[in-house]
Structure 1
Amino acid sequence: MAFGSFAGLLDATIINVAIGPLATAFDTEIGTVQWVVTGYLLAITATLPLGSWAMARFGARQILLFSQVVFLFGSLMSGLAWDAPSLIGFRILQGIGGGLALPVSQALIAQAAGPKRLTRLMSVVTVPALFAPLVGPSLGGVIVDHVSWRWIFLVNVPLCAVSITLFAWRVHNVVRPVKNAALDVVGLVLLVPALAGIVWGLSEAGTTGSFTDTRALIGLGGGLVLGVAFVAHALRRRTEAFLDLQLFRVREFTAGNLTSMIMAVAMYGVLIPLPLYFQVVQGTSVLVSALMLLPQSIGYLIAVILLQRLTQMLGVRTVTIAGAVLVAVGTLPYVVLDDDPNQFLLGAALVVRGLGLGASMMPTMTAAFGSVPRDVVPRATSAFHVFQRIGASLGTALLTVILQQEALKHLPAGVPSLTAVVPDSPTAHALATAFRAPFWWALAFTVLALVPAFFLSGRRTPPAPEAAAAAPRAAATTGLPE
């Protein structure tokens, strides 16, 4: 499972450095090539809710093998793409494979581990998440500069081949598939375009630097209308909805989900302003700016190593709150940025921030999954990742828009945007204080995450799910404890 998740996580970050070279290779605009990233993101988001139904209907092992085959084929064809539209189409195919793999793999792990072992096991299988963001941009830069942009996608082929072999050899279904598992078609028709619209609208807002852009408004408005319609449908439906909103009757699941979603805003929102500060203000290369994010990954790794012991000693709630506080402390040096900062302080702050992210994000996941019965876990993982993806997209769009709007206040006449600034120039140095604003917002969201974190369980291990008989009324409709 740990190895199998690496290719998808790597692919989400390795492409970022290739947007410019791809535009040159296909002789097209940056806005068109940007859909190579946006299409992949939309496909993942739209496919996430399908994971729980597909796992129940066909079995986790079968869906994992299918997802890896789809991802492999999409990677191969992306590497062989002949123009921008074909590449975008094959990237969407990749996203379908990636969107199915993530919730299904975590649901299978949660079912096999049970609540008492979930924290330890999730700490192990999420280790690739530490290395993919670190290796991705650097590896992408080396491939684009010294080999070919096509190998950004072709590098996934051997990884997927090994994953398919390992899955076929070692993975087994914990819960048997149900051949007559019903699919909520109405929910599918409402929710998938709703999620796609919201994520697309947020992506357009981040690209254009404004939430009032026509495409951003269409995407967000249409997505929200369809989302409200889905909520109304799901609450009226007596049987299982496409995305089970009844899960939010479980306090632990709701608290873990909200905490993770808000922390995702703070975590993913700074992934654009942070390297941009190093590249524009300090004039570093893309590779060097990627390496300067290494301290945060080191902090995250330390937190994951210590997480199991800390959770057993202090409990999920205490560890999560302490993690959020560390993220806030690690963000503070960035809210007072200037053009000549103390580099050691910035690096140390990223270590602290990484420690906090590892300590706050992982327990919320294990608490949410450990709070529901084993047969409900697939629905819980799908819902959890849908809301976390929305939080990540919101954070990226919101903090990017804030940065661009703040930068416009500092740009001299004749310089239209942040991307037109010459790195390490007097104009770039004058922009340093503009980077404070997105970090202030990241700090605010981190503090906001403390509110739902206080409603997490204070127990030292994730709570074992109660029998459905303990809550007959809830069990009659959802099978969940109240």
Structure 2
Amino acid sequence: MTGSASPPAVRVDKQLLRTAFILVLGTFMATLDATIVSVGIDSLADEFGASVAEIQWVTTAYLLAVVAAVPASGWLADRFGGRRTWLVAVGVFLLGSVLCASAWSVTSLIVFRVVQGLGGGLLPATGQALLARVAGPGRTGRVISVVAVVPLLSPVLGPLAGGSILAVAPWPWLFLVNLPIGAIAILLARRHVPEVPPSTRRTAFDLRGALLLSPGLAVLVFGLTEVAHGRTLPATVGVSAGLAMLAGFTVHGLRTRRTPLVDPRLFARPPFGAAAVALLVLGASVFGTMFLLPLYFQTGRGMSAWGAGLLLAPQGLGAAAGSVLVNRTIDRVAPRTLVVTGIGLILLGTVPFTQLGHEPPDIAIASALAVRGIGMAMVGAPVMNIVYSRIEPEFLPRASGALNLLNTVGGSVGTAALAVVLQNRLSARGPDISGAFGDTFWWVLGFCLFAAAGATRLPRTGPDVPRTPAR
């Protein structure tokens, strides 16, 4: 069903595409780094003589820092301007990368990963909000459909890039590879990305909210991670404390007369609530699958990191193809149609992974991943488009921060939850590793069904926004 209320879209000119390319470099760098480093965990453990329990904090610390940073992105962009906030975030990320490359112990590496994660957490939200502000409502859909594919490609390209780096260079280059990308992004942004002034609505920073929300999310993810490792006491304390802090933030957000860090009332407004559910569960499905499959390929099939990356590549190709499809249809087809279709394709592409116990051939896995990639590209961009196109420009930074927070939380909590399920199934299945992974993918399928239910509440028609003539 098409959205008849939507007039012809405004042409996306070269200047806007150039701005989109520059801003997406930051997102690409931050999301790619997370998966590049995951491939090098074994090398880092050998280098520092660390145990598995110690070295996993190299990944967990980055993830917790990202979760902690995202909620503040909206206030920072409002207070200091989108471009300035984005440039500082790139600088902090590069500083963290240099520090990580010079780490002398596993403890120092974990601390420096926190610095890197604080910068990386700000980049996607501030970049998207800035791009939506520059594009305007009439062009947001098409340009977001291009940049939204990057987070889908990064988990696929990361293992390939990490394996390639470690094949020819020592471990510090897992972090130093960010420097040329970040330097180019800063130089191009200072020259070509328009300056967007800070919001005229100056609000005080929600310190109480920040002390509840960011630590609450971080503690919750920590608790779920401890559940996966079978450590009962820290897991119980972490999950309980995290949920209590998030409940406290919700009460605070509803009662405060000031502007909260993330306004809980946003989630009661259509279409934001439905969009939130779709992105939350999409994050769990995408990042959860990217956690499970490389692990299955290497432990269940004995593949190398490079081989696992190659087998994951069809998902990236599918995401690229889906991005092209969405770019051509996003202004003519109802968001709900695109999103529900995309979730349906993700469901279809997930079904074969529930049968891993029967050892499906590589061609079946590659085909399923390609279908999943197309479906994922059809969800993220339309959801962000409908929200960005129907919200006032001055509220874009906070809306972008909230959406990115949900996607990040969905990915981190979903991955942690799937790790718990996988651990339980491995214990129950014993030597049948493939069967345990197949059982876990039934949970991924359940995530997708939940997302589909939320997507049915998205608008039937496209965004009815004022359009200006093409230039």
TM-score by length of 1: 0.88
Aligned to 1:458: 460
Aligned to 2:335: 316
Instruction: Assess, with a 3 A threshold, how the Cα gap between structure 1 residues 191 and 338 changes in structure 2: closer, same or farther.
Output: closer
Aligned to 1:342: 361
Matches within 5 A, 1:188-203: 188-203=210-225
Aligned to 1:103: 125
Instruction: Assess, with a 3 A threshold, how the Cα gap between structure 1 residues 130 and 410 changes in structure 2: closer, same or farther.
Output: closer
Instruction: Give, in whole Å, the separation in 2 of the partners of 1:124 and 1:266.
Output: 21
Instruction: Give, in whole Å, the separation in 2 of the partners of 1:130 and 1:236.
Output: 37
Instruction: Write out per-residue CA displacement over residues 61-103 of structure 1, whole angstroms, 9 at most, x where no aligned residue.
Output: 1111111111111111111111111111111111111112221
Q: 2:140 aligns with which of 118, 142, 150?
A: 118
Q: CA deviation at 1:154?
A: 0.9
Instruction: Write out per-residue CA displacement over residues 141-187 of structure 1, whole angstroms, 9 at most, x where no aligned residue.
Output: 22223310011011111111111111211122334344943111211
Q: 1:297 aligns with which of 312, 316, 326?
A: 316
**1:45·1:389 contact (CA, 8 Å) conserved in 2?**
yes
Instruction: Write out per-residue CA displacement over residues 396-450 of structure 1, whole angstroms, 9 at most, x where no aligned residue.
Output: 1122221221111222xxxxxxxxxxxxxxx4xx332222111111111111111
Tell me which amino acid in the other structure corresponds to 2:48.
F
Aligned to 1:444: 446
Tell me which amino acid in the other structure corresponds to 1:229.
G
**1:253·1:371 contact (CA, 8 Å) conserved in 2?**
no
Q: 2:71 aligns with which of 49, 56, 59?
A: 49
**1:2·1:124 contact (CA, 8 Å) conserved in 2?**
no
TM-score by length of 2: 0.90
Aligned to 2:205: 183
Percent of matched pairs sharing the same residue:
36
Instruction: Give, in whole Å, the separation in 1 of the partners of 2:453 and 2:358.
Output: 34
Q: CA deviation at 1:302?
A: 0.7
Q: 2:266 aligns with which of 247, 251, 254?
A: 247
Instruction: Write out per-residue CA displacement over residues 301-348 of structure 1, whole angstroms, 9 at most, x where no aligned residue.
Output: 111101033333431001100111111111111112235323222211
Instruction: Give, in whole Å, the separation in 2 of the partners of 1:382 and 1:446.
Output: 23
Q: CA deviation at 1:133?
A: 2.2
Tell me which amino acid in the other structure corresponds to 2:460.
G
Instruction: Write out per-residue CA displacement over residues 259-294 of structure 1, whole angstroms, 9 at most, x where no aligned residue.
Output: 111122222222222122222232211110111011
Q: Which moved more, 1:393-402 or 1:119-128?
A: 119-128
Larger RCO (CA under 8 A, 6+ residues apart): 2
Tell me which amino acid in the other structure corresponds to 2:271.
E
SS of structure 2 residue aligned to 1:139: helix
Tell me which amino acid in the other structure corresponds to 1:184.
D
Tell me which amino acid in the other structure corresponds to 1:78.
C
Q: 1:352 aligns with which of 361, 371, 375?
A: 371
Aligned to 2:4: none
Aligned to 2:9: none
**2:102·2:172 contact (CA, 8 Å) conserved in 1?**
yes
**2:212·2:245 contact (CA, 8 Å) conserved in 1?**
yes
Instruction: Give, in whole Å, the separation in 1 of the partners of 2:256 and 2:157.
Output: 45
Instruction: Assess, with a 3 A threshold, how the Cα gap between structure 1 residues 75 and 179 changes in structure 2: closer, same or farther.
Output: farther
Is it true that 1:361 corresponds to 2:380 in the alignment?
yes
Instruction: Give, in whole Å, the separation in 2 of the partners of 1:97 and 1:405.
Output: 35
Instruction: Assess, with a 3 A threshold, how the Cα gap between structure 1 residues 368 and 180 changes in structure 2: closer, same or farther.
Output: closer
Tell me which amino acid in the other structure corresponds to 2:41.
I
Aligned to 2:3: none
Instruction: Write out per-residue CA displacement over residues 177-234 of structure 1, whole angstroms, 9 at most, x where no aligned residue.
Output: 449431112112221211111122223333x1x5x72222221111111111111111
Aligned to 1:31: 53
Instruction: Give, in whole Å, the separation in 2 of the partners of 1:18 and 1:255.
Output: 37
**1:329·1:349 contact (CA, 8 Å) conserved in 2?**
yes
Matches within 5 A, 1:8-407: 8-178=30-200, 180-206=202-228, 208=229, 210=230, 213-407=232-426
Instruction: Give, in whole Å, the separation in 1 of the partners of 2:156 and 2:350.
Output: 19
SS of structure 2 residue aligned to 1:270: helix
SS of structure 1 residue aligned to 2:307: helix
Pairwise CA RMSD: 1.8
Aligned to 2:437: 435
**Structure 2 portions without partners, runs of 5+:** 1-22, 467-471
SS of structure 1 residue aligned to 2:25: coil
Q: Which moved more, 1:86-95 or 1:244-253?
A: 244-253
Instruction: Give, in whole Å, the separation in 2 of the partners of 1:434 and 1:279.
Output: 14
SS of structure 2 residue aligned to 1:116: helix
Q: CA deviation at 1:127?
A: 4.2
Instruction: Give, in whole Å, the separation in 2 of the partners of 1:127 and 1:438.
Output: 26
Instruction: Write out per-residue CA displacement over residues 241-263 of structure 1, whole angstroms, 9 at most, x where no aligned residue.
Output: 11122222321111111111112
Instruction: Give, in whole Å, the separation in 2 of the partners of 1:405 and 1:164.
Output: 46
SS of structure 1 residue aligned to 2:359: coil
Matches within 5 A, 1:409-428: 409-411=428-430, 427=431
